[in-house]
Amino acid sequence: MKYKLMELLKTKNVFLTGGAGVGKSYLTKEIISEHKTSLKHVVVLGSTGISAVNIGGQTIHSFFAFGICNSLDELVLQDRKNKKRIKDIKEILKSCDLIIIDEISMVSSSMLDMIRYRVEGSGFEGSFLFVGDFFQLPPIMKNSFNSNLFSNAIYAFESSSWEFFDPIVVELSEMQRVKDEYFFNILSKIRVGLLDDEVEEYLLRLSKNKDILQNEPTFLYGRNKEVNLTNTQKLLSHKGKEFILDSEITLHDKKLSQNKIQGWLNALPVEEKLALKEGIPILFTSNKWGKFYNGERGIIREIYEDSILIEKSDKLIKAERQDFSLLEYKQDKNGELKEKALVTISQFPIKLAYAVTIHKSQGMGIDNLVCNIDNIFTPSQFYVAVGRATDPKNLYIEYSRGNFSNYLRNIIKVSDEVRRFYGV
């Protein structure tokens, strides 16, 4: 599949899609690696801070200098005051071979119009790789002056700019994260908003799967409030000395605003101050080939300033600090596109395994999981949550707000626009 995508991207734009756990992120990183090995210029962008960090790139807003603009009209007005920055962006686009946009489902139709506006007239001759699943988290819509007062378009594919980019659709369908084929089929139905008797009965069984509570599972919550409370209480109740491991932050650009730094730090999968005790369960929050994967569980055995011994799968591994950088793309004197680090944080890529928000669990595969669904706010959030599970035998769906079946009918929904787009 990697080589098929590489061939398509030579002449076409591509939309890489598929459900949770089918390998979109892995394949995207392979494409990035192949292009960089071939000395191609690649710009990697995420629609949110979390997706930008997960893919190792920059946010769309930051790269394209959208500022606080939410529509094309607002952007045109802003650009009149920022001509130098716009010239720099055009120079970068002109030298770029591939632009990757991750989590395209969270890119609004207005934002895609703004991206098109930046690309047109820049001399860009490369390709776009859009990655994501419109059945998952939708765009966050803000009240703003819309350039098309008669349009109710929300999703990127509803914009006329989608036709302008005209991407070839490549849909992955083979589950990589889950080996249970029946569970995968249930997830596939939930993904498209189908709640039939089979799905309802299956989820009802999972809502009674309380035995896993004895194995100190990871809880997924819709809100930070419950996550912070659970982690704090569990850590306090565990006996032993508490270690506070501070991150090491290096500022490379003295002009960088504190708000931008803090926004980036909030999106990272690591903590500025990491509170740990020996013997507690943790989750790895990044991938390291041959050692651990994002969402994998372990138990802390020994804590040092520069390393942590963690037991997983009956063996000990040494975890070390990992660098995360806020990047900016710049051209050097020879016109070569370079990644420049604005600020770098060095911290251990782990979190307490007691609780995580659904939003920050993106990209994780968690073996022993409780999905608390009391606070589901957006369409497809339930699918994103249960899609983190690697084994349904170790999945418990927790709900405490009335009739479970009625609630499922309220939260397992997909917009008609997305259904039509995928032809289901």
Q: For residue 326, with 0-12 CB atoms within 10 Å meaning exposed, 13-18 middle and 19 or more buried, which class applies?
A: buried
Q: What is the rounded average pLDDT of the residues 253-261?
A: 90
pLDDT higher than 90, residue 392:
yes
Of all residues in the chain, the percent with pLDDT exceeding 70 is 97
The pLDDT tens digits for 95-109 are: 999 999 999 999 999
Cα dihedral 58, 63, 66, 71, rounded to 10, equals -80
Any residues with CB less than 8 A from the CB of 249 and at least 6 apart, and which? Answer: 272, 343, 344, 345, 346
Rg (CA), the chain: 22
pLDDT higher than 90, residue 134:
yes
pLDDT higher than 70, residue 151:
no
Q: What is the rounded average pLDDT of the residues 140-155?
A: 60
Q: For residue 246, with 0-12 CB atoms within 10 Å meaning exposed, 13-18 middle and 19 or more buried, which class applies?
A: exposed
Backbone angles phi, psi at 49, to 5 degrees: -60, -40
Of all residues in the chain, the percent with pLDDT exceeding 90 is 63
- Structure confidence at residue 148 (pLDDT): 46
The pLDDT tens digits for 206-225 are: 999 999 999 899 999 999 99
- Structure confidence at residue 36 (pLDDT): 86
The pLDDT tens digits for 333-381 are: 777 788 889 999 999 999 999 999 998 888 788 999 999 999 988 778 8
Residue (of 119, 131, 126, 138) closest to 72 by Cα position: 119
Any residues with CB less than 8 A from the CB of 418 and at least 6 apart, and which? Answer: 134, 135, 155
pLDDT higher than 60, residue 278:
yes
pLDDT higher than 70, residue 150:
no
Rounded Cα distance, 392 and 396, in Å:
8
Q: For residue 121, with 0-12 CB atoms within 10 Å meaning exposed, 13-18 middle and 19 or more buried, which class applies?
A: exposed
Residue (of 182, 192, 103) closest to 380 by Cα position: 192
Number of C-beta neighbours around residue 102 at 10 A: 27
Query: For the chain, what is the mean pLDDT?
Result: 90
DSSP 359: G
Q: What is the rounded average pLDDT of the residues 287-312?
A: 92
pLDDT interval class at 149 (50, 70, 90): very low
Decide which of 54 and 273 is more confident.
273
Q: Of all helices (H) and strands (E), which one includes residue 422?
A: helix 416-422
Indicate the length of the chain as a whole number. 424
Alpha-carbon distance values, 70 to 74, 82, 145, 157, 229 (Å)? 7, 17, 8, 17, 34
Q: What is the rounded average pLDDT of the residues 158-162?
A: 95
- Structure confidence at residue 331 (pLDDT): 80
Q: What is the rounded average pLDDT of the residues 148-177?
A: 84
- Structure confidence at residue 146 (pLDDT): 44
Provide the whole-model pTM.
0.89
- Structure confidence at residue 143 (pLDDT): 52
**Do the Cβ atoms of 317 and 301 come closer than 8 Å?**
no
